[in-house]
Structure 1
Amino acid sequence: MELSKKDIQLIHFLQDKLTISASSISVALRMRQRASEPLPIILWQYGLVSLQQLERIFDWQERWELRP
């Protein structure tokens, strides 16, 4: 599976700012192949991030999308 630039940046944010493990991200990426849900939702559904962390992810995504 090829990752987009946005996915790569999101993964860096998850690891650097939220200290989400590479193994948790890997599980979520595999689950995303089977589901049509966005990565942050999958992380939350499987208990890999808290609701507060999910909110931080959404805030980051909003800022990232507003970048020039």
Structure 2
Amino acid sequence: MTSELMELSRSTSQLIRFLQEELSLSSNSIAMAMRRREQDPGPLPMILWQYGLVTLEQLERIFDWLEG
């Protein structure tokens, strides 16, 4: 695995941890969004929002966290 892929995996793992711990998203919701992302690639936070798995306020918190 390249260092770029390892970094991507690490950042995705950290994002998933944030979604579960800070926003209380279920593992099922996250897994569904990840499956959708495989079919229609895009930013995970946007997929979560498009499918109604996070509110607009939660989406803003995710983007704030990603910027931090």
CA separation in 1, counterparts of 2:56 and 2:15?
17
List runs of 5+ in structure 1 lacking aligned partners. Answer: 64-68
1:45 equivalenced with 2:55 (yes/no) = no
Instruction: Kindly indicate which of the two structures has a greater share of residues assigned to helix.
Output: 2
Work out the number of aligned pairs and report it.
62
State the one-letter code of the partner of 1:55: E
Q: State the distance in 2 between where 1:36 and 1:25 align.
A: 15
Partners of 2:30 and 2:40 lie apart in 1 by 15
Whether 1:60 aligns to 2:65 is yes
Q: Which runs of 5+ in 2 are unaligned?
A: 1-5
Larger Rg: 2
Q: In the aligned structure 2, how far is the partner of 1:60 from the partner of 1:35?
A: 24
2:15 equivalent among 10, 13, 33: 10
CA distance in 1 between counterparts of 2:10 and 2:25 reads: 19
TM-superposed CA distance for 1:16, in Å, is 0.2
Percent identity, aligned pairs only, is 58
